[in-house]
Amino acid sequence: MNTISNKTFNATPSTIDKKWVLVDAEDKPLGRLSTEVASILRGKNKPEFTPHMDIGDNVIVINAEKVALTGKKMTDKLYFRHTGYIGSETFTSAKEIMEKDPTALVTKAVKGMLPKTKLGRQLLKNLRVYAGPVHPHTAQQPEITEI
């Protein structure tokens, strides 16, 4: 009898093993950083990846204020907002967002790379972004990941 099973593996809540991952954003390009972080949040780096389950790790991003934007994106890249009322669209440059809240650029970039469903909103809760090198999650013993 053949001992190898040909069944597809589906992760269940009892088989999920979530870890904590620490990522340093200093001098990393925003797009490349956020694709790697989104992949870790989603769990695509694990062999037991299941598309409809939250099997990804918790990610801590530090030094978000030192993230790099290539070219003239710091002044030329615009973020669009609209309240829903006529004529109420506003454009904000990346530089203005960075001055107001340095963590917002990384959060927006990662959020845009996650699914636009209930699962995507749940995955975003596993992301913690901090402007400086200090974070309150030392008790979780995060493993440092180089991107």
Q: Cα dihedral sign for 122, 52, 54, 32?
A: negative
**CA 13, 38, 23: angle at the middle one, nearest 5?**
100
pLDDT in tens, 75-128: 999 999 999 999 999 999 999 999 999 999 999 999 999 999 999 999 999 999
> Domain extents for the chain?
20-71+99-145
Q: Are 82 and 89 a contacting pair, CB within 8 Å?
A: yes
- Write the pLDDT tens digit of every residue in 5-50: 678 888 899 999 999 999 999 999 999 999 999 999 999 999 999 9
20-71+99-145 topology per CATH: Ribosomal Protein L13p; Chain: A; (3.90.1180)
**Does position 2 have pLDDT exceeding 80, yes or no?**
no
- Report the predicted TM-score, pTM, of the whole model to 2 decimal places: 0.91
